Amino acid sequence: MAKAPRAGSVKTRLEPLLGDEGCAALQGELITATSTWAVMVAPGRAYVACGPDARAVDEVASRAAPGAELLADATGDLGDRLAAATGRVLAAHPEPVLVVGTDMPLLREADAVAAERTLDKGADVVFGPAVDGGYWLIGLVAPLPGVFELGEEWGGPRVLERSLQLAAALGAHSELLDVRRDLDDPADARALLAEPDLPAPVAELLRAGSSA
């Protein structure tokens, strides 16, 4: 799931550190890093949902890794878009689907392996919990649109808690991966700069902002 790298509309909580143009540049690098991971772990089955307007699709396409297929985003809130994207992909490929945003620059092949193994062992849905109360990954074995019906709680500190509640109410068995830090605000940026595996283009942008 990717937003177009437009100044003033992406990674806005990092604007005090990077400015709006820096945030747009960072989003471009995050699209590249995340789609590269997706192509690595799911060759021939990697999608980048973006848009829904043609300009946004083009802007994301210019930063997406070769081999990633662009998927025109649905309208509505994040839950509507997640439900639509997972439903479309699962209809085309009835096998486990993993969804990530572009705010996890430290994705590893092992993350996909762990999520797939959890689903193979009988989980209906797997979440990768984020430090801020959200989740950095969700994996599904079948469409489960009700798990995305968070409404105004999207972006808040109870996203994971409410998602687990929704899954349980739907009779779905959930499992959790390790808690990880995503990249939303200056505190996240400072913490991630200590990680040696942070992609170099992302690290350079964050370091430049931190030293300004």
Handedness of CA 72, 175, 39, 131 (dihedral sign): positive
DSSP label of 100:
-
* Distance of alpha carbon 59 from alpha carbon 57, whole angstroms: 6
Mean pLDDT of 131-159: 96
Cα 52–37–162 angle (5° rounding)?
Answer: 65
pLDDT at position 9: 93
The Cα–Cα gap between 203 and 197 comes to: 9
With 70 as the cut, is the pLDDT of residue 179 above it? yes
Q: Give the CA diameter of the chain.
A: 50
Percent of the chain at pLDDT exceeding 90: 91
Domain 95-182 has CATH 3.90.550.10: yes
Mean of the per-residue pLDDT values of the chain: 95
> What pLDDT score does 195 carry?
95
The yes-or-no verdict on residue 209 having pLDDT over 70 is yes
Domain boundaries, the chain: 1-73, 95-182
Residue range 35-87, pLDDT digits in tens: 999 999 999 999 999 987 888 899 999 999 999 999 988 889 999 999 999 99
SS3 150: coil
Residue 212 has pLDDT above 60, yes or no: no
pTM of the model: 0.94
Contact between residue 111 and residue 177 where contact means Cβ atoms under 8 Å apart = yes
**Predicted pLDDT at 151:** 92
Per the rule left: phi > 0, alpha: psi between -120 and 50, beta: everything else, 122 is left
Q: Above 90 in pLDDT, residue 167?
A: yes
Coil/strand/helix, residue 63: coil
